[in-house]
Amino acid sequence: GQSSYENISSGSDLTLDTTKVYDGNTTANVSVNGVVPVFNNDIVSVTAYANYTNKNVGNNPIAIHYLLSGDTANYIVPEDITTNGSITCKPVSVVGTKVDSTKVYDGTSDINIISEGSSPDFIAGDSVAVATNALLVGETYGVATEVAVSYYLVGTDNGNYCIANEKDTLQQNVVISPKLIDIAFVKSAIDSVKVYDATTDVNAVLTLDPSCIVGDDDVQLNIMAYYDSKNVGNRRTTRR
């Protein structure tokens, strides 16, 4: 005779994990009670394998396939079934991020990134990489000791991963050096005539081209100028 094992195909003897963390493949964990009712001295065992419809994160149906082994000639393989399943993102940690240890003052917290970082948790062959934003913490001049970083993922497989340390802080000294003012942006005005006052002082004024100043910074330059003598006459001037 023939027997179909509806009790197996209905799932009564089936153990199936309907969720898993992304691992780059479609395999679903499944097991089945291998003891089946048979006739006479037949030896028949049943096994199963299961696969998600695709490997990616999301709600993915799971197809379960049964196999018979042993004295199978007089027995019908249970029908395949499909059930709901889901794949969740694989947590990863980003390491290896590096930024410049120096910058010239520009009035911002921006810092150049040398290495975006990566993760040892990525699955080989996946198209995924780390992109990084970085800002100095606290200081825009002098020495900053911390860098705030935030990470996001790029690549066609980026949706299968979630970053454990999406926002992080690097402990790194960054020396912010002063911005040099080009002498070409400095204009000086020195009085060429004065009334005798028993000193060699000369009235002098410096002005800066606004294009060389960062933002709304208040920057002033002082200049000292002197005649070569306090006495009346044509004199040469010296600036400091």
Note the pLDDT tens digit of each residue in 104-150: 999 899 999 999 999 999 999 999 999 999 999 987 889 999 999 99
Instruction: Judge contact between 81 and 62, C-beta under 8 A.
Output: no
pLDDT band at 90 (very low <50, low <70, confident <90, very high): very high
| Average of per-residue pLDDT across 144-158 | 96
Residues in the chain: 240
What residues contact residue 33 under an 8 Å CB cut-off, 6+ apart? 8, 13, 14, 46
pLDDT given for residue 186 in this prediction: 65
CA dist 233 to 198, 228, 229, 230, 237, Å? Answer: 13, 11, 9, 9, 12
pLDDT given for residue 49 in this prediction: 93
pLDDT given for residue 239 in this prediction: 67
Which of the two residues, 224 and 98, has the higher pLDDT score? Answer: 98
Q: With the C-alpha atoms ordered 222, 228, 232, 234, is the resulting torsion angle positive or negative?
A: negative
**pTM score, whole prediction:** 0.73
pLDDT given for residue 112 in this prediction: 96
Residue 232 CA, chain-centre distance (Å), reads 71
Q: What are the pLDDT digits (tens) for 31-68?
A: 887 666 666 777 778 889 999 999 999 999 999 998 88
Checking if the pLDDT of 240 tops 70, the result is no
pLDDT given for residue 185 in this prediction: 59
H/E/C letters for each residue in the chain?
CCEECHHHHCCCCEEECCEEECCCCCEECEEECCECCCCCCCCEEEEEEEEECCCCCEECCEEEEEEEEECCCCEECCCCEEECCEEECEEECCECCEECCEEECCCCCECCEEECCECCCCCCCCCCEEEEEEEECCCCCEEEEEEEEEEEEECCCHHHEEECCCEEEEEEEEEEECCCCCHHHEEEEECCCCCCCCCCEECEEEEECHHHCCCCCCCCCCCCEEECCCCCCCCCEEEC
